[in-house]
Amino acid sequence: MLVIISDIHLGDGTTANSISPTAFELFANRLRETAFYASFRKDGSYRPIQTLDILLVGDILDPLHSTLWLNTDPGAQNYARPWSDTNSPAFVSMLSETTKAIMDVNRTSLEILRKCARGSMILLPPATAGGEPDQDSKERIPVNVRIHYMVGNHDWYYRLPGTIFDDIRKAVVDSMGLCNDSSPFPYEPEEHPALHEILQSYQVFARHGDYYDKFNFDRERGRNHATLGDVFTMDVCNRYPVEVQRRYGDRLPSGVIDSLRRITNVRPALATPLWISGQIRRHAESAALEKELKQVWDDLCDQFLQLDFVRELDKSFQFDIVDALELVLKISKRTSFETLDELVLWVHNKMNENEHSLAENALREPAFLNNSARFIVYGHTHHHEIIPLDSDGEPPNEKNQFYFNSGTWRSYYDLAIKNLRDQKFVRYHTLTYLAFYKDGERSGREFEAWSGAFV
């Protein structure tokens, strides 16, 4: 049995809060239940499964959404950002600090994963001589749970080569109960032969999905390099509430800064300006202060566009992603939050963000084209999907190929659709996981996909 999850985005609490330990408790309970039913075989007999593989497909720990990086100033000896020289002592020290902070804040959640890997959480009743579960027996059989970690665009730092990063990875392995060692965590399945073999046995190909996102992956530089998305997240989104507090902290009512820190949990992302302006209006109740806080946003956008890293990505005589972002930011600079609201509402009504899909890219994966994989799995978009790609043969012996998106585990503030101009957001938690079976497990099923929400 193979279970795939992604995009948990566990942070250190300096920006939006991570999903609560309740989600991990729920997952462990569902995992135990799923393992039990996977032990019923296609021939009708019950035989407890021996091994359960859990694949984490990127953006699990999230060092990028940490304001600890902002504690160092440009020009200082200890200056470090996600796009700094990765071999510098300052970079290594900051990655170590943020990773430790993430593990400390999420200790209870990670302990649940570790207990699963230790064999103390997923326990199954033995089988009777007649091939039935012996529920009356006091014996319980531990399932060998192996947890594998692949990286995405928010945790690619754990793929960096070199012994200087081994201690950081070792701490992550120990904290989560991973079966990875301290060598670089893989980005592609082929980078870890044992994991690649496991996925092939289930006819699954998996990657994070950022590979198809130019804002968050640079094809020329590869995954061991920062991207424009890293810089924008850090120096605009993360920095905004920090800078607002620095400039106006003594003038702001309580609640403003905490609200602004939740920017990363707002959905759809297009509604971020609505969230900012709505929270400011709700707490500040001052048009003058609102204008000043808009100026902070404009200042950060100007500084972002002048960063050497950003200018180096701006290619001459081409309209590239930097030019597109610069155009949007310049438009927003000439626009009040109120006018931005109107723009966002128009875009929201014209384009449903949840329709964005990476499924078309699955059709070009070599594993799809050569039929070595029947199931193509991406993460990254946070939008859970199951989309049929192709089918060969006739029932009951047809061979179908599917694209899956593994969704996310996040706390969300989602824009309520009634009277969008009221800027009302509803908080809830989402949790998605995929399960794949082989050798007649789960009464012969091939896969299941579970996605839920709770408050």
DSSP conformation letters of 145-192: EEEEEE--SSSGGGG--SGGGHHHHHHHHHHHTBS--SSPPPSSGGGS
User: How many Å apart are CA 139 and CA 352, to the nearest integer?
Assistant: 52
Predicted local confidence at residue 449, as pLDDT: 96
Predicted local confidence at residue 365, as pLDDT: 97
DSSP state of 451: E
Residue 331 has pLDDT above 50, yes or no: no
Q: Once rounded to an integer, what is the mean pLDDT over residues 151-155?
A: 97
DSSP state of 74: T
Residue 346 has pLDDT above 70, yes or no: no
pTM exceeding the 0.85 threshold for the entire prediction: yes
Q: For residue 316, what pLDDT band results from cuts at 50, 70 and 90?
A: low
52 by Cβ neighbours in 10 Å (0-12 / 13-18 / 19+) ranks as buried
Predicted local confidence at residue 333, as pLDDT: 59
Count of alpha carbons within 13 Å of 3, Cβ hemisphere only?
22
Pick the residue with more confidence: 186 or 308?
A: 186
CA dist 100 → 106, 115, 264, 414 (Å): 10, 19, 21, 30
Tell me the helix, strand and coil percentages in the chain, rounded to 5: 45, 20, 35
Residue 264 has pLDDT above 80, yes or no: no
Q: For residue 272, what pLDDT band results from cuts at 50, 70 and 90?
A: low
Pick the residue with more confidence: 311 or 356?
A: 311
Cα 46–Cα 198–Cα 373 angle in degrees, nearest 5:
100
Indicate the residue type of 246. R
Predicted local confidence at residue 134, as pLDDT: 97
Task: Give me the phi and psi of 108, to 5 degrees please.
Answer: -65, -40
Predicted local confidence at residue 236, as pLDDT: 86
Q: pLDDT above 70 covers what percent of the chain? A: 87
Pairs from 256-260 (Cβ < 8 Å, separation ≥ 24): 256/280, 256/283, 256/284, 259/283
Residue 67 has pLDDT above 50, yes or no: yes
Average pLDDT, rounded, for the chain: 88
pLDDT tens digit sequence for 160-201 = 999 999 999 999 999 999 999 999 999 999 999 999 999 999
Within 10 angstroms of residue 212's Cβ, the number of other Cβ atoms is 18
Residue 13 has pLDDT above 50, yes or no: yes
Residue 345 has pLDDT above 80, yes or no: no
- Per-range mean pLDDT, top range of 177-181, 251-255, 329-333, 345-349: 177-181
User: How many Å apart are CA 269 and CA 351, to the nearest integer?
Assistant: 12
Count of alpha carbons within 13 Å of 454, Cβ hemisphere only?
14
DSSP state of 381: S
Residue 344 has pLDDT above 60, yes or no: no
Query: Six-digit token pair at 257?
Result: 């800064």
Q: How far apart are the first and last CA of the chain?
A: 29
Count of alpha carbons within 13 Å of 377, Cβ hemisphere only?
32
DSSP state of 46: B
Pick the residue with more confidence: 146 or 395?
A: 146
Q: pLDDT above 90 covers what percent of the chain? A: 62
Strands 447-454, 425-436: pairing is: antiparallel
Residue 319 has pLDDT above 60, yes or no: no
- Please give the distance of CA 109 from its chain centroid, rounded to a whole number: 16
Residue 141, helix vs strand vs coil = strand
Taking Cα atoms as reference points, which of 8, 62, 102, 2 lies closest to residue 379? 8
Pick the residue with more confidence: 376 or 424?
A: 376
- Please give the distance of CA 273 from its chain centroid, rounded to a whole number: 22
Predicted local confidence at residue 428, as pLDDT: 82
Strands 425-436, 2-5: pairing is: antiparallel
Predicted local confidence at residue 411, as pLDDT: 80
Predicted local confidence at residue 348, as pLDDT: 46
Which of the residue ranges 73-77, 125-129, 137-141, 426-430 would you say has the lowest mean pLDDT? 426-430
Count of all residues that appear for the chain in the document? 455
Residue 353 has pLDDT above 50, yes or no: no
User: How many Å apart are CA 406 and CA 197, to the nearest integer?
Assistant: 20
Indicate the residue type of 189. P
Which of the residue ranges 9-18, 269-278, 307-316, 389-398 would you say has the lowest mean pLDDT? 269-278
Residue 64 has pLDDT above 80, yes or no: yes
Task: Give me the phi and psi of 4, to 5 degrees please.
Answer: -125, 130
Count of alpha carbons within 13 Å of 232, Cβ hemisphere only?
14
Residue 19 has pLDDT above 50, yes or no: yes
Which of the residue ranges 234-243, 296-305, 396-405 would you say has the lowest mean pLDDT? 296-305
Which of the residue ranges 228-237, 256-265, 424-433 would you say has the lowest mean pLDDT? 256-265
Edge-to-edge order in the sheet of strand 375-378: 204-207, 375-378, 399-405, 385-392
Residue 287 has pLDDT above 80, yes or no: no
Residue 336 has pLDDT above 80, yes or no: no
User: How many Å apart are CA 242 and CA 430, to the nearest integer?
Assistant: 28
Q: Once rounded to an integer, what is the mean pLDDT over residues 321-329?
A: 59
pLDDT tens digit sequence for 208-219 = 999 998 889 999
User: How many Å apart are CA 105 and CA 295, to the nearest integer?
Assistant: 33
CA dist 162 → 61, 193, 378 (Å): 20, 20, 28
Q: Once rounded to an integer, what is the mean pLDDT over residues 364-390?
A: 95
Taking Cα atoms as reference points, which of 120, 97, 156 lies closest to residue 32? 120
Angle between helix 287-306 and 321-333 (nearest 10): 160
Which of the residue ranges 74-88, 151-165, 263-277 would you say has the lowest mean pLDDT? 263-277
